[in-house]
Amino acid sequence: MTAAALRFDGIGKTFPGVKALDSISFTAHPGQVHALMGENGAGKSTLLKILGGAYIPSSGSVQIGAQTMAFKCAADSIASGVAVIHQELHLVPEMSVAENLFLGHLPARFGVVNRSQLRQRALACLKGLADEIDPQEKLGRLSLGQRQLVEIAKALSRGAHVIAFDEPTSSLSAREIDRLMAIITRLRDEGKVVLYVSHRMEEVFRICDAVTVFKDGRYVRTFDDMRALSHDQLVTCMVGRDIQ
């Protein structure tokens, strides 16, 4: 099923003495990978934390389709079908893959976890994403790339239709990056809204359909078609001056 569009409308975020975001407005459409780009401190990660319910905006609103959201915590965001995949994964290394996938809603009766049912559910979640991962394996024994796949599988198991990635390839090998790109392409083709934060220009041109540029907490511009955009044009927009 195709997701509804994601709209940021006049989003502002102020911390004591600092305006991190100033009236950010743009729309990310389903069936697209939408990049967020800007220099360090531009406000990209702050916006994702608002989307994920970690921060409450000082002004403005987040809209999914015709509905205005009021995320007061991460649980509100998750319940609305939003998943934010941060650089620091929200997983427990000492627990099994299956336990991480269903943490908080393990299949249990009278306080006893049904291990067989848990394994079957975990296998179903991992199918097509990470078939080689044993659900009973301790998460801490997996590579970083595999842990990231578990996080994505967890998000999809909860019905996420808006998925945001914050610098997802920063510690991955070339092979793991290729695998992640294939998964993101699949999510796009399934009609999900995908946000992609990265400082790696080659990845943005490889995987993204549109890009919104931030500078010093402010909206600069959205390019709706990456195919019509050059590397130099994007860099110029980010830094605010022509590159010689």
SS3 state of residue 110: coil
Rounded distance, CA 236 to CA 239, Å? 5
> Are 46 and 68 in the same domain?
yes
Residue 32 domain flag:
yes
* pLDDT for the residue numbered 171: 86
Residue after which a domain boundary falls, among 110, 130, 159 = 159
d(CA 158, CA 84): 12
Count of structural domains, the chain: 2
Residue 152 lies in a domain: yes
4 with 68, same domain?
yes
Q: What is the CATH number of the domain that holds 46?
A: 3.40.50.300
**167 and 77 within one domain:** yes
- pLDDT for 107 equals 66
Residue with tokens 């959205």: 222
One-letter amino acid of 142: L
> Which of 120, 136, 159 is the last residue in one of the domains?
159
Return the closest-CA partner of residue 48 out of 239, 193, 231, 223: 193
What is the structure's pLDDT at 193?
Answer: 97
- Is residue 86 one of the residues assigned to a domain? no
Does 45 lie in the same domain as 4? Answer: yes
Q: Are 211 and 234 contained in the same domain? A: yes
Instruction: Specify whether the CB–CB gap between 92 and 145 falls below 8 A.
Output: no
Residue 44 and residue 165 in one domain: yes
For residues 46 and 118, membership in a common domain is answered with no
Q: What angle do CA 138, 85, 66 make, to 5 degrees?
A: 135
52 lies in which domain range?
1-81+161-244
Q: Is 126 helix (H, G, I), strand (E, B) or coil?
A: helix
Residue 114, pLDDT score: 76
What is the reported pLDDT for 103? Answer: 83
Residues 200 and 168 in one domain: yes
Final residue belonging to a domain, choices 129, 159, 189: 159
Does 65 lie in the same domain as 169? yes
d(CA 67, CA 82): 13
| Same domain as 133, residue 222 | no
Q: What is the pLDDT of residue 143?
A: 92
| Any domain includes 134 | yes
pLDDT in tens, the chain (244 residues): 457 899 999 999 999 989 999 999 999 999 999 999 998 888 999 999 999 999 999 999 999 999 999 899 999 999 999 999 987 788 999 999 998 998 877 767 767 777 888 889 999 999 988 889 999 999 999 999 999 999 999 999 999 999 999 999 988 999 999 999 999 999 999 999 999 999 899 999 999 999 999 999 999 999 999 999 999 999 999 887 655 5
Please check whether residue 87 lies inside any domain of the structure: no
Same domain flag for 77 and 165: yes
What is the pTM for the complete model shown?
A: 0.90
